[in-house]
């Protein structure tokens, strides 16, 4: 197996339904061994390193259609993975960090994930999502200047001040 792979399966059990592995791959290396479509693609992997479905990396911009996105570019990106348990439908949406979630997913697949995602895995996924939200809030929290750290913040916030002020007409 290629040493550049990050994987949770071994060569001997790759593709085995007892793996209970679901993954979305952002792949910037084309591997003929796993039938990769190119060296810049997004794939849905189920119990296997060969994607059940894949497409070149990109995102849908309203009005502009599909725009190419180079995974290896170093530009920040965000990825949304949605699963409808009733319809057994997986949606993967990719976009730059500075825009909201595109309306059209980049990649879709109909597959029942219930045998793969048992209750303990769902709890773990919820925990990861919560950890991500907390980390993101901390990352974008207000940064204090050096003097504010020593003496405390002394900022006026227009919205707060307007709510405390009466306006005479």
Burial of 41: CB neighbours in 10 Å, binned 0-12, 13-18, 19+? buried
Q: Quote the pLDDT of residue 158.
A: 55
143: pLDDT confidence band, cut at 50, 70 and 90? low
100-142 residue pLDDT tens: 899 999 999 999 988 887 665 666 666 777 776 777 666 666 6
Q: Quote the pLDDT of residue 2.
A: 46
* Assessment of whether the complete model's pTM goes beyond 0.75: no
- Both tokens of 130, joined, read 């919560």
Higher-pLDDT residue of 25 and 10 is 25
Q: Measured between alpha carbons, how far is 94 from 80 in angstroms, rounded to an integer?
A: 6
32-89 residue pLDDT tens: 888 899 999 999 998 888 899 999 999 998 888 899 999 888 888 899 999 888 999 9
């Amino acid at each position: 197996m290629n040493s550049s792979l990050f994987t949770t399966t071994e060569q001997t059990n790759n593709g085995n339904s007892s793996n209970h592995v679901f993954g979305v791959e952002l792949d910037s290396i084309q591997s003929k061994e796993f039938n990769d479509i190119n060296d810049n693609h997004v794939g849905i992997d189920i119990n296997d390193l060969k994607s059940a479905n894949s497409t070149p990396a990109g995102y849908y911009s309203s009005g502009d259609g599909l725009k190419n996105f180079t995974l290896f570019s170093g530009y920040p990106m965000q990825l949304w993975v949605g699963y409808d348990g009733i319809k057994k439908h997986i949606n993967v949406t990719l976009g730059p960090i500075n825009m909201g979630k595109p309306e059209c997913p980049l990649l879709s697949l109909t597959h029942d994930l219930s045998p793969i995602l048992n209750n303990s895995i769902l709890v773990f996924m919820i925990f990861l999502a919560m950890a991500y939200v907390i980390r993101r809030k901390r990352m974008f929290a207000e940064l204090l200047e050096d003097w504010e750290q020593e003496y405390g913040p002394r900022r006026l916030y227009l919205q707060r001040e307007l709510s405390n002020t009466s306006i005479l007409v």
